[in-house]
Each structure stands twice: as C-alpha cells, then as structure tokens.
Amino acid sequence: MNKNVLFIMRRAPHAGNHAHETLDAVMTVAAFDQSVRVLFVDDGVFQLKKDQDPAAIGLKHVAPWFQALRIYGVHELFVEAESLSERSLGEDDLSLPVQLLQRDQIAGLLGSQDVILTS
Amino acid sequence: MKFAIQVNSSPYQSQASATAYQFVETALRKGHQVVRVFFYHEGIYNGLHDAASADDDWSIARCWSALAKDHDIDLVLCISAAQQRGLPVAETAGHTGKAESNVAEGFHLAGLGQWVDAIITADRVVSFGG
C-alpha cells in the first residue's frame, strides 16, 4: 500500500540529534516505496541554511544531509515562506531548491496527507 | 480502528509518554487494535528496565510491560536510537529482537522498518512528544 507521508521539521539544527534521526526515518519510509514529503517550518528552516559553519562547536553542517533525499526519491521539500521571512531569510539562503508555501496554504498540504509526523 | 503509536519523549522530559500510555490503554479498552508502539528519539528511555522513581512507586516501563503482557501488544525500541544513547545492544539484536537485560519486559529492539510496517498497516498514526 502506498501512503502519503509528510514529515514536519520544526527544530533548529543541533537541537539534539533530531534532524539526523528524522532524516533516518524519512529515508526509511521512502525506501519502503511510500510517497514522502518534508515540510520545514519555524526554526526548522535553519536546517536548510547554506554556509553553516558549526565546526567551532565540533558539529557538522547539516544541510548537505538533505541532498541525499533525492536518491531516495524524495523530491518535494516545502518551506513556509513566513518562517523564512520572520528569520530574515530568503530562498537564496537555502542550500536546496524548495517549494515555498504561504502560511494559509499549509492546511491544504496537511489535509492531503495520510500520515503526518512532526519532530 | 488500527493505531500505530510513536513515542518520542523520555518519561521525565514531558507528559508525552504518560499521555501515550493512557491513550494506548484506553484505545485497547475500547476495543481498538494497536499495531505497534514504536519508541524513537528520547522515547527509548521508556523501555529501560531499571528506570524507576526514587520511592519506587511508579515506573512507566513497568506500566508498558504490564500492558504488553495483558494485551499482547508489540513494544519496539528503535535499535539505532538506543545505540546512539548508549544502551548496550548486541550485534544480533536487530535480527533476533532479543532484549538485553536492561530492556524492560515486553519490549524488544528493532529497526525503523518495523515503524514503516506499522504506518502502512494502521488506519491512524499518532505520535506523542517531539
């Protein structure tokens, strides 16, 4: 059976290891031939910020991890436009091509999913 | 209705794991089916054998164990999340599902594939904590 599964990322990079573990889950669900989409809202938009340099705190730049999603057939990455603008970010600050959604479009995306997982 | 449940918080981090337990207990009592409870992220701390409050009066692990015993539900601790948090996990645990001594009764260790299987099988997926 094929289900539409949406993962919502709301946390900044390095807020625990949530990003890494959530990506593991995204890739596993995609590997089982489900239709996977990822939505970045709130501080989650920082996950995709390019030019991160967390070496000084001994951590890794997380944005490249998301490049691997293509290999798993996850092509639909959504970012809430207001989350970006509220953090003085624009589409150019992101390391991957995404689809921007306005806040009032989010409900439509959520309504079209079978399973929604937030982290 | 068939439910798949994900628990993402440790017992003392928030109300989430206690709420999850109450949800599962109620769903079973009302005649629903719980396909699997999958403990991910900090949720793996729900399944540690020796976790108990100081006065030993309440332990979420014991609550889950009793529920598993009474209703034969599948309690899965994510094996990679457990390993990352230092739980000693034998090389073979992913294949045999055999619990280590510090994993509470009724829980077993398995991979994310078990979670995907639960998602596909269930009518509803409910996650607690984040």
Residue of A nearest to B130 (CA): A119
Residue B63 appears among annotated catalytic residues: no
Contact across the interface for B6 and A18, Cβ inside 8 Å = no
Total domains in chain B come to 1
Total domains in chain A come to 1
| Res. B96: pLDDT tops 60 | no
CB of B123 within 8 Å of a chain A CB? The answer is no
Contacts of B130 in chain A (CB under 8 A): 10, 18, 118-119
Q: How confident is the model at residue B49 (pLDDT cuts 50, 70, 90)?
A: confident
Q: Supply the range of the domain harboring residue B92.
A: 2-128
| Res. B7: pLDDT tops 70 | yes
Q: Which of A28, A115, A119 sits opposite B125 (nearest CB)?
A: A115
CB of B118 within 8 Å of a chain A CB? The answer is no
Contact across the interface for B130 and A21, Cβ inside 8 Å = no
User: What pLDDT was estimated at residue B102?
Assistant: 78
Contact across the interface for B119 and A10, Cβ inside 8 Å = no
Q: What is the CATH number of the domain that holds A103?
A: 3.40.1260.10
Q: Residue B92 is encoded by which pair of tokens?
A: 């073979």
Distances A60 to A52, B35, B50, B80 between C-alpha atoms, Å: 9, 36, 34, 19
Comparing B38-47, B84-93, B94-103, B109-118, the range with the smallest average pLDDT is B94-103
Q: Supply the range of the domain harboring residue A104.
A: 4-118
Nearest to A34 by CA among B118, B112, B121, B116: B116
Alpha-helical runs (H) found in A1-119: 18-31, 81-86, 103-111
User: According to the per-residue pLDDT averaged within each range, which of A58-67, B25-34, B54-63 is highest?
Assistant: B25-34
Q: What is the CATH number of the domain that holds B77?
A: 3.40.1260.10
Q: Name A118's bridge partners.
A: A8
User: What pLDDT was estimated at residue A62?
Assistant: 84
